[in-house]
């Protein structure tokens, strides 16, 4: 059973840089715990062999649905656009 609190939790969309220089985008409702999981090799399959990861930027979302939509938008961006986003040279709408 999903509690009502689950629907109201704050969610984050984040971009990390992997040890090989690639960027990974994900969502979580506990950013600190998720970054630690990535660095222990227990995060996403993509990052398991690319540790350590470094958090580059995160965005707060009202709920999981909004976070998922934003994650999708970011994942559609080219690498250069993601870097501009990280550097604050552009925004995501």
What pLDDT, on a 0 to 100 scale, did the predictor assign at position 1? 38
pLDDT digits (tens, 9 = 90+) for 44-87: 999 999 999 999 999 999 999 999 999 999 999 999 999 999 99
Write out the DSSP string of 26-68: EEES-HHHHHHHHHTT-S-GGGTTS---EEEEEEEESSHHHHH
CA distance 20 to 24: 11
Residues 4-83, CATH architecture: 3-Layer(aba) Sandwich (3.40)
What pLDDT, on a 0 to 100 scale, did the predictor assign at position 3? 43
CA distance 3 to 6: 5
Instruction: Identify whether the C-beta of residue 77 lies closer than 8 Å to the C-beta of residue 57.
Output: no
**Hunting for tokens 């580059």 — which residue is that?**
56
């Amino acid at each position: 059973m999903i509690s009502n609190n689950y629907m109201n939790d704050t969610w984050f969309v984040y971009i990390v840089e992997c040890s090989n220089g690639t960027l990974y985008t994900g969502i979580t409702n506990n950013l600190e715990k998720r970054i630690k999981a990535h660095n222990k090799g227990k995060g996403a399959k993509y990052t398991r062999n690319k540790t350590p990861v470094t958090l580059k930027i995160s965005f707060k979302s009202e709920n999981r649905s909004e976070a998922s939509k934003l994650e999708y938008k970011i994942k559609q961006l080219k690498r250069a656009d993601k870097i501009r986003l990280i550097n604050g040279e552009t925004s995501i709408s």
